[in-house]
Structure 1
């Protein structure tokens, strides 16, 4: 029976079954429709994945071959607790990424972000977490710090609600960076300890938690904004196309950088799924939180992570510093994304930062497809993002 916050993908992850198999045994419902609390969902039988040990296999080589951790492999197979496997033994194989903190087989929302930040703190004591503000509905907006360098980077994600996969991209990077620092190894081909000493990274993984929750779970009648949201969404129960916060304000049109010009260009003067910049700049608590945090920390550079398009925007009305284009080229070379000199766009976070501080600011459009990008695309997009982020940390001289 579906509980509050459940989705088909989250149920599939919980029961260890394939999402496609769960959809197949529940043909009565549309995949994109939010589950109703109390709705019955049929769970297919889970068939364990098994492996026959080959000559020369070791626990270490099996973990690498099967894409899992040694500890989890031993946990599932008692025969491995006292020594090495023997040829012919049949082993149960953990699911993919079983040893990961940040799991992305299902929708990644505010609850997952909050829980994983605590797990990251426990696993890597050099990661600190703070709250920089609260959303319209009172959800905390977190920032995580890693590194001790003089150069201060800020990276934020999930400004747009249906781009929630960006939160998972940023959180997975924190996990991998933490692991690399702990083992004194490399990340993205670069020495993690050297990056740690060079830069202090502040990551804001989910700027718009109310909007993300709305996209993933819908708005039941008990939602405090149910009537308004239903009207703004034209009666549709699906919020997959929703980018704004829960008050129908697009947070990336909320910043005081030629805000009025953007408002006139958009010609949208009431709340809705996207492109409404509010009645004035910084009216929304999420936009105010990131602006106040940016002013307080006096960052040397910022990066706003969005989806999709595989592009890097690096300029704003000629206010960007001389090194901005060169940095964008380096980020593009590392990731395969295309640096774009953008015109005809105002009031975004990157725009405001560049105009106010005359320092490097970037918007990265990760991945390619239609928002929200499916979790199945995560691994491919993450490979690009990992290379881009490690290059970003290596940019300062």
Structure 2
């Protein structure tokens, strides 16, 4: 019997509940908090395995891209079950990955924003009166990308942040694209920097939507093996590999600039955000292939 139900949206509470259920059933990892969101929600971080190479995967930087949490939770259960049963994930021996890779997962970077998109305003929480004044679409919050105080978390990192601050149209808190008044002003962004430094990631994979493509370079600072990995990901997923785009201040950008190591941003699915769950059966197998193969490539180094 499976725990993860990918057919319903994963808000913060459901994510936390199922993380603990998974680790209780498959005791191969540990859960910790890497910090708190604006509204005080603990941001969960899961570590699995004990290999020398650390692969990090995150989801839901952007609130209306919550389907990435669904995908990451399903991948997590698939991987844990495969370890337990001695099976393969995307054709790769899960036990080999477990022994040679430490997998780091932050399944919901922006818990306040995700809950707003999925569940609407909680009148008992801080910022509830402020939210309607900084942008909404029609009668809901389906277009909301930011955290709860109107800052785009994936425009928060010190990788030429000043360029984004200058050219982004929102100059104050907004439901999307406002990079904040300074880099790392938001607790969620700070937590993501701290966890990368603490665990010395070798590879970062950030799950976003949409476009059926992925970005693998930044300012020519990526390592030489990034191109070869990108070509392989393109082969196993059908997604288009794009070295760079005219964008700065993202988590992957900062990680490559800071460390010179491997960083990828995956744009799952195709259409208008939020990607509907009816697309999940199409986007998930491609995601699983990339994630498992990324782990395998580093496991074999």
Q: Please confirm whether the aligned pair reaches a TM-score higher than 0.5, indicating the same fold.
A: yes
Write out aligned runs for 1:229-244 (5 A).
229-233=131-135, 236-244=138-146
Question: Out of 197, 202, 213, which is 1:300 matched to?
Answer: 202
Matched, 1:195 2:195: no
Q: Does 1:265 align with 2:171?
A: no
TM-score normalised to the size of structure 1? Answer: 0.74
Partner SS state of residue 383, structure 1: helix
Counterpart of 1:163 in structure 2 is 65
Q: 1:292, 1:179 → 2: CA distance?
A: 30
For 2:261 and 2:289, the matched residues in 1 are separated by 22
2:4 counterpart of 1:102: yes
Query: Partner of 1:83 in structure 2?
Result: none
Specify the alignment match of 2:233 in structure 1: 331
Aligned: 1:320 with 2:222: yes
CA RMSD of aligned residues (A): 1.2
The alpha-carbon deviation at position 221 of structure 1 amounts to 4.0
**Correspondence for 2:155:** 253
Q: How does 1:49-198 map to 2 (within 5 A)?
A: 99-198=1-100
* 1:230–1:236 contact (8 Å) kept in structure 2: no
Asked whether the 8 Å contact 2:152–2:179 carries over to 1, the reply is yes
The separation in 2 between residues aligned to 1:182 and 1:315, in whole angstroms, is 35
Contiguous gaps of at least 5 residues in structure 1: 1-98
Residue number in structure 1 paired with 2:266: 364
TM-score, with normalisation over the residues of structure 2?
Answer: 0.96
What is the alpha-carbon distance in structure 2 between the residues aligned to residue 222 and residue 393 of structure 1? 42
Structure 1 ranges of 4+ moved more than 4 A: none
- What is the SS of the residue equivalent to 1:267? coil
Q: In the TM superposition, what whole-angstrom CA distance separates every residue of 1:74-96 from its partner, at most 9, and x where no partner exists?
A: xxxxxxxxxxxxxxxxxxxxxxx
Matching of residues 12-27 of structure 1 within 5 Å: none
Q: Give the 3-state SS of the residue equivalent to 1:105 in structure 2.
A: coil
Q: Does 1:288 align with 2:190?
A: yes
- Higher RCO, 1 or 2 (CA under 8 Å, sep at least 6)? 2
> How far apart in 2 are the matches of 1:274 and 1:358?
29
Aligned to 1:351: 253
| Aligned partner (choices 206, 219, 226) of residue 128 of structure 2 | 226
Task: Establish whether residue 393 from structure 1 lines up as the match of residue 295 from structure 2.
Answer: yes
Q: Is the 8 A contact 1:230 1:237 kept in 2?
A: no
* Cα pair distance change 1:369/1:235, threshold 3 Å: closer
The structure number with the bigger radius of gyration is 1
Determine if contact 1:150/1:199 at 8 Å carries over to the other structure.
yes
